[in-house]
Structure 1
């Protein structure tokens, strides 16, 4: 009798009780793209569509225990790392993952919420660049996060090009610089690959406030496509298409009174079954 397995994605990220971002968005995204989703909780933010009110920490050892429990049983085909808001958490995640075989990692350096609320401590940035960047196959900062990492203002597309070159020097393998905050009819995201080349992705600007969790969703989509066996470039390209459609299909729906969520299930896929060798 043949046996099968689902392509699996592990998300290591924070909570969002309002359902639009964090682990909730990650699970929705990977599920909608036909992958099996597992998760590790790194923090418990109290938030809704209006913003983050408070962040309750998860004990460091609990994070390590969660990672070990998953990796020793349901080995993922890709890992997405999201909210990592303390140096201790960075160290714990990196050291725990190092005890297992290398798995492709997509790191979304969550530093600023859609509402503009800053989510990261200053001393964490150094830990992220020194320890998380080297194990990440691709990082996905938005313009606000690129400004923090490059230590410069990032407002225009020209700024984004400059920031990408600076961030590349921090030791990243591949970088997807998201251009969603550009105030132009056409927005451009830049993908800097490991060989130093860059590729641009253009899309029309969607006029909506329903973008809560868009960064979490895009990074999870990329991880899901990697888990399916796509190349990194194709995963990034397909992830861009998915996020655009998720925003487009949710832009006319009101959920909450702030920045609403995306429509993750605009075209849900059945769980993919791959034959085990």
Structure 2
């Protein structure tokens, strides 16, 4: 029996809660084999990011060529991609690969940290907007990231769908507007595109939410790799992540903002 394969292109989190590590855990938790292309190496834990070192564009290209030249990849997730040179390299390699073999791409535009600090400079944001958004099957921005892509203020609840539609006009087939930065007691995400969904859940109060964006986008990619539609993959990913957040406090990882429990359905249940 063969299992579907998904590829993540993202940065490494040495603390294991986000980035490549969260993506691979998510793929595995959802029954998908994970391959990876590392764009950056970070020295971080649950309390701080101590250092970041970017991988060269040539090495990023070599990793993409090696994986796509051998593995039957059914979906690609893109996370942290660093500077404009790496973004351009990823886009060039994927355009060539997708022209011969269309593969769904989930793009998590990692541009703004939970602290509110910008992670990409203006040139890199422009490259991401121009080069990667047109390749995306699903774009999964949080509210600050959507705002920066559109050069606007973050959306209020009543404007989330409009901003999502405006992002679709930049190239993605679908946009999932995530409400994780909102303040209401209910968190409401909106999927816009050929199909529309509204996904709501009670906002859970826990400090252990590190890697939620990485994990959600990877869960969507896992669903697409397994042959689900975008709506089906997004619904399953949303429900799975709610369970991972609910079980996050059971892990007790680190002294700061810990990760969600990727394997809450497999081990560690009370």
- TM-score range, shorter-chain basis? over 0.9
For the pair 1:81 / 2:78, whether they are aligned, the reply is yes
Distance 1:152 1:252 in 2: 38
**Superposed displacement of residue 108, structure 1:** 0.5
1:249 alignment partner in structure 2 = 247
Q: Which has the higher contact order (CA 8 A, sep 6+)?
A: 1
Report how far residue 150 of structure 1 moved.
Answer: 2.3
- 1:193-232 alignment, distance < 5 Å: 193=193, 195=194, 198-232=196-230
- Deviation string 1:33-78 (CA, Å, 9 cap, x unpaired) is 1110100000112222123233211011100000111111112110
Cα distance in 1 for residues equivalent to 2:209 and 2:91: 30
TM-score for the superposition, normalised by structure 1: 0.90
Provide the rounded CA distance (Å) in 2 between the counterparts of 1:11 and 1:166: 26
Deviates more, 1:142-151 or 1:34-43: 142-151
Q: Distance in 1 between matches of 2:117 and 2:49?
A: 7
TM-aligned CA distance change 1:59 to 1:174, over 3 Å: same
Q: How many residue pairs are counted as aligned between the two chains?
A: 264
SS at match of 2:116: coil
CA shift at 1:155, angstroms?
A: 5.6
TM-score, with normalisation over the residues of structure 2? Answer: 0.93
Q: Which has the higher helix share?
A: 2
Trace 1:116-127 onto structure 2 (pairs within 5 A). Answer: 116-127=116-127
Partner residue of 1:184?
A: 184
CA distance in 1, matches of 2:49, 2:112: 10
CA RMSD between the two structures: 1.6
Alpha-carbon distance in 2 for matches of 1:114, 1:171:
26
Native 8 Å contact 2:165 2:175 kept in 1? no
State the distance in 2 between where 1:246 and 1:106 align: 20
Match of 2:169 in 1: 169
1:143–1:179 contact (8 Å) kept in structure 2: yes
Are the structure 2 counterparts of residues 116 and 18 from structure 1 closer, same or farther at C-alpha, using a change threshold of 3 Å? farther
Do 1:114 and 1:213's aligned partners in 2 also have CA atoms closer than 8 Å? Answer: no
The equivalent of 1:131 in structure 2 is 131
Runs of 5+ consecutive residues of structure 1 not aligned to the other structure: 270-277
Which residue among 44, 47, 56 is the counterpart of 1:50?
A: 47
